[in-house]
Structure 1
Amino acid sequence: MKIPKRIQPLVEEGLIDTVVRQLMSGKEATVFVVRCGEETRCAKVYKEASQRSFRQAASYQEGRKVKNSRQARAMEKGTRYGRKMQEETWQNAEVDALFRLAAAGVRVPRPYICFEGVLLMDLVTDADGNAAPRLNDVELSEAQALAYHAQLLHQVVLMLCAGVIHGDLSEYNILVDAEGPVIIDLPQAIDAAGNTEAGPMLERDVHNLATYFSQFAPQLATTQYGKEIWKLYVAGLLRSDTVLTGRVEAPKGQADVGAVMREIALARKEEEERLRYQNAE
């Protein structure tokens, strides 16, 4: 096929020989199957910010590091240079996460390079060598659903032990190769220790998995793996081989409603006194 304009620089640099076909187009990028010498890989071409349906919400940006204070100020002000830096930070987040997670044993595509807004990485394939399907396109038995759910929980734990949370995990960004699920699409990945929304995002990712797989294995619908995983992580007890139960003990003892109401009344009284003092001046 004709070489897309965004991929042309990689061809000129000798990183890609030919473009075979378009594989898929999503909310943040278009992916092409390419040939690199004897290898078949994929090239993920990031869409411009104005074309993406997935916005760079502040909750995802929190905790991400930039090269210097000038870049940070420009990003805060939203200048042209700042927007360019924000785009690079967004794209590099996926590259950094992929390298980091691959080293931690997480099942993700192996990355090679991100050049001019194009990420070159391994093509995930099925047993016949064809592009692997998305999880939502695979028909599952109850046993397969339980097995895949368990495998993905383990991947989530490995990711968290490496300090990374996917942030947008669902059946649409998980591929299924000959050995099982492979996690993809990580430009919104967050730093677990540097983001105040890390806990809720982790729980949402795990809840998404339970919701999807419960269609095939209803017993998963009432599990609490997300809360359990995060609780163990915060306590410093989460390990790659931690055995999960899917249950979280309810807080012991009843809430002291009277004490809460007294605190509210006291705060209200202090505010009234402060206003009276202010008006008397």
Structure 2
Amino acid sequence: MRGVVTCPSLSPACPQTVTLIPGAPLTSHTPGSADELDPSFTFDFHVYDEGLADNQRWSTWLDVEPLMRGPEPRPDWVVTSQGAIDTELGILKTGKEADVFLVERADPLDPDGGVVMAAKRYRDTDHRTFHRAASYTEGRSMKRSRDERALKRKSTWGRLVAAGEWAVSEWGALKRFHELGLPVPYPVQIEGTEILMEWITHSVDGEVNTAPRLAQTRPARDLLEHYYEQLRDALATMVQAGIVHGDLSPYNTLAAGDRLVIIDLPQIVDLVGNVQGMDFLLRDCANMCTWFRARGLEVDEQELFGELMAHAF
């Protein structure tokens, strides 16, 4: 049985103590006053049933270190209750390196305050096919030499380190992009190789669904131009911060109504620190401009690249 105790009046200046006895009511005592209770010293105690289904777990919010939680100020929809339960709703997307699931986090005593999030879970290197990994990680260094040696030997530990490295890389990128004001899902928390983040949705006729990839859309001319302006602004912000997405395309950009949202960030590279940084940036420009041209918008990747370089230096 899981229980949560809250004391609104508890403070260093409050000398009272509380005793919890199974099957007995909660009582508060003030030293020197056995019969009188201070009415301001009150507790709320909520009991949660431990009967979880196979697709459920207790919320891991308090299991992770503070740095493994999303940046503040946090959105109001983030559920931080100690009694919340995570319920897996099914798989949202399969990928070469990771799978994305939908997970609902809700407190049984406050079901209306629950939220559905995307849970991205990285596979180990035996079950993923991350292409050109070495070119993306050039310039990065491991904090522990043991991990770096294990990666080079491709040992069992090295494979676990590799999976965690990509998860940590994406977590760091999501936090950094969010703090820069870039359009990315809000990162809720990371635990091991699982990242919980905002589920990006699109509502049509009152029905909420996952926002489609940009590649799946056929926007009208006005919206197409609006999307391109958002893209150009986002790329300029990245370049000013010395960052390149590294694998940007219409397949990892979501169209959430009239808003573009950039996803899949584990491979971000340093524009200057990585010798291929500018090549990656040009490729990102080419991937996106090719799609916009195919939809009838006259844009040029070389022109966009030159404009971005002006922001970088």
Q: With the length of structure 2 as denominator, give the TM-score of the two structures.
A: 0.67
Shift of 1:16: 5.1
The alignment partner of 1:214 has SS state of helix
In the alignment, is the contact (CA less than 8 A) between 1:112 and 1:120 conserved in 2? yes
Deviation at 1:2, TM superposition (A): 5.8
In the other structure, the counterpart of 2:20 is none
Q: Cα RMSD (Å) of the superposition? A: 2.6
Say whether 1:51 aligns with 2:124.
no
Q: Which amino acid aligns with 1:29?
A: A
Which residue matches 1:217?
296
Question: Matched residue pairs, number?
Answer: 232
> What does the per-residue CA deviation read over 1:102-132, in whole Å, with 9 as the maximum and x for residues that have no partner?
0000000011222131110110111444221
State how 1:144-163 maps to structure 2 within 5 Å: 144-163=223-242
Secondary structure of the 1:181 match is strand
Partner of residue 176 from structure 1, selected from 255, 270, 284: 255
- 2:110 corresponds in structure 1 to none
Q: CA offset at residue 56 of structure 1?
A: 5.1
Answer yes or no: is the 8 Å Cα contact 2:225–2:297 preserved in 1. no
* 1:39-90: CA deviation from partner (whole Å, max 9, x where unpaired): 1111112123233233352110112232123322332343333332222211
Residue of structure 2 equivalent to 1:204: 283
Structure 2 residue corresponding to 1:28, chosen from 97, 103, 110:
97
TM-score by length of 1: 0.74
Separation of aligned partners in 1, 2:160 and 2:248: 26
Say which structure is richer in helix: 1
In the other structure, the counterpart of 1:137 is 216
Any gaps of 5 or more consecutive residues in structure 1?
237-281
> How big is the shift at 1:8?
9.0
Local SS of the residue matching 2:279: helix
1:111, 1:120 within 8 Å by CA — same for their partners in 2?
yes
Q: Which residue of 2 aligns with 1:272?
A: none
State the distance in 2 between where 1:113 and 1:222 align: 35
- SS across alignment from 1:39: strand
Secondary structure of the corresponding residue to residue 51 of structure 1: coil
Please show how residues 1-281 of structure 1 align to structure 2 within 5 Å. Answer: 3=55, 17-37=86-106, 38-55=114-131, 57-127=133-203, 128=206, 129-221=208-300, 224-230=303-309, 232-233=311-312, 236=313
Q: How many Å separate the matches in 2 of 1:138 and 1:2? A: 37
**Comparing both structures, which one devotes a greater share of its residues to strand?**
2
Higher RCO (C-alpha under 8 Å, 6+ residues apart): 1
